[in-house]
Amino acid sequence: MVLGLLLITNGYKEDVIGLIKAGLNKGHTVNVFMMDEGVFYCQDKDIVALNDSDKISMSLCDRSCHLRGITAEMIPQSITEGSQLQNAMMHNAADRIINI
């Protein structure tokens, strides 16, 4: 199963980590897309560290980053800097989507 996480708010770090770990522990692939206030998760070392698994991919909306002062240099290399195309791709590939 492919689990999609659409992160659009900030302040739910433990929930995000718990959902990612639960999905991975069940053997699922987890695709994460960050936009709006959710792009601030790309600055959280604990969340970014989860991206080391080959069963997870993280991407974000570069426009949302720009509007919130997050520059390209601030985005970890393990996270794909993209657009709403990555969001659409996540939705297309996912069996289930959770919005946070």
pLDDT digits (tens, 9 = 90+) for 42-75: 999 999 999 988 999 999 999 999 999 999 999 9
Let me know if residue 92 belongs to a domain. Answer: no
Let me know if residue 14 belongs to a domain. Answer: yes
Residue 100 has a pLDDT of 93
Let me know if residue 87 belongs to a domain. Answer: no
Let me know if residue 95 belongs to a domain. Answer: no
For 59, the domain range is: 2-75
Let me know if residue 50 belongs to a domain. Answer: yes
Let me know if residue 86 belongs to a domain. Answer: no
End-to-end CA distance of the chain: 19
Tokens of 93: 């590939």
Let me know if residue 96 belongs to a domain. Answer: no
d(CA 91, CA 60): 13
Residue 53 has a pLDDT of 85
Mean pLDDT for the chain overall: 96
* Total domain count, the chain: 1
